[in-house]
Chain A
């Protein structure tokens, strides 16, 4: 796999070691008065960005932690978080 992923514990490793965990969508919504459609959207709807997205990865063949990275879906390359944050500030 050409993708490398930077695990916060183990550092930059081969993408083979990780399992994808979906787009970052924020914590689970409160269940009280939750609209069924909103719930369904939370679980199933994705933005499918063509560009940089924040997403979850699990280091399955490593430390076993869940974390997010920024990945450019058009190049399948990880973007360093610092770089991206600086861009946002500009």
Chain B
């Protein structure tokens, strides 16, 4: 393990606290504050991964995760960006996309085969003959790609989401971002400040001369209570209405590993600053080549000297500053090649001269030599006429600065190329969005800070908390400070470009770009797609601005026409788990949930509910069914939709949504009816009871309960009717007591006369049990037997349930589940909407046309117009009952009815214990619906075998209905 500096004030590590981790099955140590990448670097690891296509060795380059160079498998999670991941005790780190190891990858020979794989190689080859593709695809998929994931992988960790509101959202916690946050906060506004690194400071944080200032600013930010700071939080999306999304990586003390943050702000300040513009030369991504910030932060933040002997090839004063700092820390600097002929900071030049560091102006690195790592570098004049080779193990290379414009472009701001700075600058910004700091091309620390204050005040003005005069004063102040610095224009060193990489993630070279242009792809958007430059995990971090600049240069286009490619969210690779958030179980349970489970109920998720579907391992439910037909059983039907509607216009509202004439419902009686949509398709059925004048209680099917209030209000929205509808679904439970012995059971717990004369079929009664439990009782016959539906307040459900259980113990009362009910009602041909209907099935198709009352056109009943039109339509499917031929088994639900074409489908079919044969219901074309027609049934994967049924009259069981009326 390398020795760490421990005297630097800028350090973010605690070298005394060791952290152990496993890399390639061996134990290594990093220190507190390390990222996975720096810990590996400290242990001498230089080759982190192999590239996607050519399997070239890759190492540390930017330290901010702009490329996939350091993507590894960490704790079984593939494609983790090691530069952005804090080291934790016991982490297990593996290499990915290698055959062998990253150091010795058996696939590395592919690098020499690049001549075989020009741009668009996949598009041009392997499709003739078509048979080749499946074979080739398998091999390519094995050789290319990043991490692998097994299909049964379960993502570890906990994920969260928050949706804060704020006045001002500042993206970027560098000097200008912090100043903006402070300025806005001092105007009494609530501010959210996001910083993608683990601590505030940005451009000031890791530089010796500015470090103290960054601490001062961070202290001021933290002292202001109305600034909420999110560190280690990357912004990933920006949408209209100033909605900003991001994700935060949790600290060990946080309850989440990552969390999604969706911020709604009145005003947004973008202070994302700059990254370095990658310098393009031959082998510019070989391990040992890194950017200035990477080299400097390795030393100043993590206490690691990045190499022994270095050559700098830079185009910005930061390079000179870094060379001086690193020289002072013991790095031997063989040469600084500065792209710029002039324009350097004279003070820096003087110091470099004092330290005797050789400096060549107008020179640039043009080739990195070395098989796997840098051994030497060839530098040349920018015209390429003279060159020399210098031995070194580190090349610090960058062409200059490039602004992080992603947040602006995904918020649909427009960019324009600025010739002075060489930057893409925000030209047209969305409303209430401001850019500041280095995004404006500013370099002078005072200018950066002042521009931050200005942006903060402009944001305050958006929130109407700042005067225009105050803004004018700061503007003037900024004008007197140094403006944007001149940027370098050089995009590539003078090279042919066969091994000069413009995009590391996708292994795209300059040569590939040229090939694409020669083929006629003349704009960056097309070139990006054809060469896949910028489509990798780095989200265009490396080629983002180089691609359009190079394309313009190669085609000798004027500056004005240079347009970067579109940026889309997520700006930074984000885990799907983070977007998904916490996995809440949203299912509802009924009051009888626990008791039914204790009785052996087997539960299934049905819609929004968990319901007891079976009460034994016999999924045909033979015992449950026979018990209902001959004895007595109980079903928890609490999931039924239950509503009360009252008010002067309640009846009108019911007339609108139900197809029957609701004015005919008599007090104390019930009516079964259905609701249709405007196409006449049946969407719901239920029972309506009149409690008193303009006061009704009605039920809906389980699945529709959630939409009923919305439906009623939607379809009466123009009428200004006075009614109130209350959803009682969760307030009331329902017990369905069924079977020939159900009256004898119920009698024991009620005080009133419930004989058939006093409480007949289709009647409604209200009574109390034990003088306190109010019950709404309905005599219905869904399962085709004597049956009572008891509507009980949810809080009393368990009591009534236990009372019935005790009362029925003499008959050995049993539970029955949803499946038994399904078979019982099917034998009676009582339909369940959604099972005997689908979206296109109308009221007439399912044989419920008798419910529709045509005499109430004034009510404008939903569906009535469409039903009138559908009445004469002969092409519609009809619901029919059938039984199977030769006593064969029932077909699966959903099997097709066929002849030479599909003619319909089976809705529900079961082997009936009551009838001792297989019966079912099907929706078939009109001509097939006559009784006696033979149905040819096609089941999934049945091949040429068919089974046959015959249409019979409905219902199958007790056609007279005497059993439910007894």
Q: Taking beta carbons and an 8 Å cutoff, which residues of A are in contact with B?
A: 1-4, 14, 19, 21, 26-28, 30-32, 34, 36, 39, 43, 56, 58, 60, 64-66, 75-77
Q: Among the interface residues B163, B679, B860, B865, which one has the most CB atoms of the partner chain A within 10 A?
A: B865
5 closest residue pairs by CB, A with B: A2-B239, A27-B718, A2-B243, A31-B857, A43-B678
Given A32-B857, A43-B678, the answer on whether A58 and B710 have CB atoms closer than 8 Å is yes
Instruction: Tell me whether A60 and B710 are in contact (CB under 8 A).
Output: yes
Q: Is B240 an interface residue (CB 8 A)?
A: yes
Q: Is B349 an interface residue (CB 8 A)?
A: no
CA distance A43 to B681 in the complex (A): 13
Q: Among the interface residues B264, B709, B710, which one has the most CB atoms of the partner chain A within 10 A?
A: B710
Instruction: Tell me whether A14 and B264 are in contact (CB under 8 A).
Output: yes
Complex interface: chain B residues within 8 A of A36 (CB):
865, 869
Instruction: Tell me whether A65 and B713 are in contact (CB under 8 A).
Output: yes
Q: Is B717 an interface residue (CB 8 A)?
A: yes
Q: What is the CB-to-nearest-CB distance from A33 to chain B, in angstroms, rounded to a whole number?
A: 11
Partner of A21, one of B240, B714, B866: B714
Instruction: Tell me whether A31 and B865 are in contact (CB under 8 A).
Output: yes
CA distance A21 to B865 in the complex (A): 21
CA distance A39 to B862 in the complex (A): 12
Instruction: Tell me whether A39 and B860 are in contact (CB under 8 A).
Output: no
Instruction: Tell me whether B239 and A31 are in contact (CB under 8 A).
Output: no
Q: Is B184 an interface residue (CB 8 A)?
A: no
Instruction: Tell me whether A39 and B240 are in contact (CB under 8 A).
Output: no
Q: Is B387 an interface residue (CB 8 A)?
A: no
Please list 8 pairs of residues, one from A and one from B, whose beta carbons are closer than 8 Å in the complex, sorted by A's number: A1-B243, A36-B865, A39-B865, A43-B679, A56-B714, A60-B710, A64-B713, A66-B713
Instruction: Tell me whether B240 and A31 are in contact (CB under 8 A).
Output: no
CA distance A56 to B710 in the complex (A): 12
CA distance A36 to B870 in the complex (A): 11
Instruction: Tell me whether A75 and B678 are in contact (CB under 8 A).
Output: no
CA distance A84 to B243 in the complex (A): 24
Instruction: Tell me whether B718 and A28 are in contact (CB under 8 A).
Output: yes
CA distance A76 to B241 in the complex (A): 9
Q: Taking beta carbons and an 8 Å cutoff, which residues of B are in contact with A?
A: 163, 239-241, 243, 264, 678-679, 709-710, 713-714, 717-719, 857, 860, 864-866, 869
Instruction: Tell me whether A31 and B860 are in contact (CB under 8 A).
Output: yes
Partner of B241, one of A2, A19, A56, A58: A2
Complex interface: chain B residues within 8 A of A39 (CB):
865-866, 869
Instruction: Tell me whether A3 and B678 are in contact (CB under 8 A).
Output: no
Complex interface: chain B residues within 8 A of A30 (CB):
860
Q: What is the CB-to-nearest-CB distance from B655 to chain A, in angstroms, rounded to a whole number?
A: 13
Instruction: Tell me whether A66 and B163 are in contact (CB under 8 A).
Output: no
Instruction: Tell me whether B717 and A31 are in contact (CB under 8 A).
Output: no
Instruction: Tell me whether A28 and B860 are in contact (CB under 8 A).
Output: yes
Q: What is the CB-to-nearest-CB distance from A35 to chain B, in angstroms, rounded to a whole number?
A: 10
Q: What is the CB-to-nearest-CB distance from B191 to chain A, in angstroms, rounded to a whole number?
A: 20
Q: Among the interface residues A1, A26, A31, A56, which one has the most CB atoms of the partner chain B within 10 A?
A: A31
CB nearest to B238 among chain A residues: A2
Complex interface: chain B residues within 8 A of A19 (CB):
710
Q: Among the interface residues A3, A19, A66, which one has the most CB atoms of the partner chain B within 10 A?
A: A66
Q: What is the CB-to-nearest-CB distance from A18 to chain B, in angstroms, rounded to a whole number?
A: 11
Partner of A77, one of B241, B714, B718, B857: B241
CA distance A43 to B865 in the complex (A): 11
Q: What is the CB-to-nearest-CB distance from A72 to chain B, in angstroms, rounded to a whole number?
A: 10
Instruction: Tell me whether A77 and B710 are in contact (CB under 8 A).
Output: no
CA distance A76 to B866 in the complex (A): 34
CA distance A80 to B869 in the complex (A): 41
CA distance A28 to B864 in the complex (A): 12
Partner of A2, one of B240, B709, B714: B240
CB nearest to A64 among chain B residues: B709
Complex interface: chain A residues within 8 A of B865 (CB):
31, 34, 36, 39
Known: A4-B264, A27-B719; 11 extra A-B contacts, CB below 8 A, are A2-B239, A3-B241, A26-B718, A28-B860, A31-B864, A31-B865, A34-B865, A39-B869, A43-B679, A56-B717, A77-B240
CA distance A27 to B783 in the complex (A): 41
CA distance A63 to B866 in the complex (A): 32
Instruction: Tell me whether B241 and A4 are in contact (CB under 8 A).
Output: yes
Q: What is the CB-to-nearest-CB distance from B873 to chain A, in angstroms, rounded to a whole number?
A: 12
CA distance A58 to B710 in the complex (A): 7
Q: What is the CB-to-nearest-CB distance from B745 to chain A, in angstroms, rounded to a whole number?
A: 40
CA distance A42 to B239 in the complex (A): 34
Partner of B240, one of A14, A26, A76: A76
Q: What is the CB-to-nearest-CB distance from A15 to chain B, in angstroms, rounded to a whole number?
A: 9
CA distance A64 to B719 in the complex (A): 17
Q: What is the CB-to-nearest-CB distance from A52 to chain B, in angstroms, rounded to a whole number?
A: 15
Complex interface: chain B residues within 8 A of A3 (CB):
241
Q: What is the CB-to-nearest-CB distance from B643 to chain A, in angstroms, rounded to a whole number?
A: 13
CB nearest to B243 among chain A residues: A2
Partner of A75, one of B240, B243, B679, B718: B240
Q: Among the interface residues B241, B243, B709, B710, which one has the most CB atoms of the partner chain A within 10 A?
A: B241
Q: Among the interface residues B679, B713, B717, B718, which one has the most CB atoms of the partner chain A within 10 A?
A: B717
Q: What is the CB-to-nearest-CB distance from B855 to chain A, in angstroms, rounded to a whole number?
A: 12
Q: What is the CB-to-nearest-CB distance from B266 to chain A, in angstroms, rounded to a whole number?
A: 12
CA distance A14 to B263 in the complex (A): 11
Instruction: Tell me whether A66 and B714 are in contact (CB under 8 A).
Output: yes
CB nearest to A34 among chain B residues: B865
Instruction: Tell me whether A64 and B240 are in contact (CB under 8 A).
Output: no
CB nearest to A78 among chain B residues: B241
CA distance A74 to B719 in the complex (A): 31
CA distance A73 to B768 in the complex (A): 56
Complex interface: chain A residues within 8 A of B714 (CB):
21, 56, 58, 66
Q: What is the CB-to-nearest-CB distance from A29 to chain B, in angstroms, rounded to a whole number?
A: 9
Instruction: Tell me whether A14 and B163 are in contact (CB under 8 A).
Output: yes
Q: What is the CB-to-nearest-CB distance from B822 to chain A, in angstroms, rounded to a whole number?
A: 30
CA distance A80 to B85 in the complex (A): 45
Q: What is the CB-to-nearest-CB distance from B653 to chain A, in angstroms, rounded to a whole number?
A: 13
CA distance A58 to B584 in the complex (A): 25
Given A39-B865, A75-B240, the answer on whether A66 and B857 have CB atoms closer than 8 Å is no
Q: What is the CB-to-nearest-CB distance from A12 to chain B, in angstroms, rounded to a whole number?
A: 10
Q: What is the CB-to-nearest-CB distance from A77 to chain B, in angstroms, rounded to a whole number?
A: 6
CB nearest to B706 among chain A residues: A60
Complex interface: chain A residues within 8 A of B713 (CB):
58, 64-66
Q: What is the CB-to-nearest-CB distance from A80 to chain B, in angstroms, rounded to a whole number?
A: 13
CA distance A25 to B135 in the complex (A): 56
CA distance A32 to B258 in the complex (A): 61
Q: What is the CB-to-nearest-CB distance from A14 to chain B, in angstroms, rounded to a whole number?
A: 7
Q: What is the CB-to-nearest-CB distance from A39 to chain B, in angstroms, rounded to a whole number?
A: 5
CB nearest to B864 among chain A residues: A31
CB nearest to B709 among chain A residues: A64
CB nearest to A28 among chain B residues: B860
CB nearest to A36 among chain B residues: B869
Q: What is the CB-to-nearest-CB distance from B615 to chain A, in angstroms, rounded to a whole number?
A: 36
CA distance A2 to B786 in the complex (A): 55
CA distance A41 to B710 in the complex (A): 23
CB nearest to A15 among chain B residues: B241
Q: What is the CB-to-nearest-CB distance from A26 to chain B, in angstroms, rounded to a whole number?
A: 8
Complex interface: chain A residues within 8 A of B864 (CB):
31
Complex interface: chain A residues within 8 A of B717 (CB):
56, 66
Complex interface: chain A residues within 8 A of B718 (CB):
26-28
Q: What is the CB-to-nearest-CB distance from A5 to chain B, in angstroms, rounded to a whole number?
A: 11
CA distance A27 to B709 in the complex (A): 19
CA distance A14 to B164 in the complex (A): 11
CA distance A43 to B680 in the complex (A): 12
CB nearest to B869 among chain A residues: A36
Q: What is the CB-to-nearest-CB distance from B710 to chain A, in angstroms, rounded to a whole number?
A: 6
Q: What is the CB-to-nearest-CB distance from B536 to chain A, in angstroms, rounded to a whole number?
A: 27
CA distance A57 to B857 in the complex (A): 27
Complex interface: chain A residues within 8 A of B240 (CB):
2, 75-77
Q: What is the CB-to-nearest-CB distance from A49 to chain B, in angstroms, rounded to a whole number?
A: 18
Complex interface: chain A residues within 8 A of B241 (CB):
2-4, 77
CB nearest to B678 among chain A residues: A43
Complex interface: chain A residues within 8 A of B163 (CB):
14
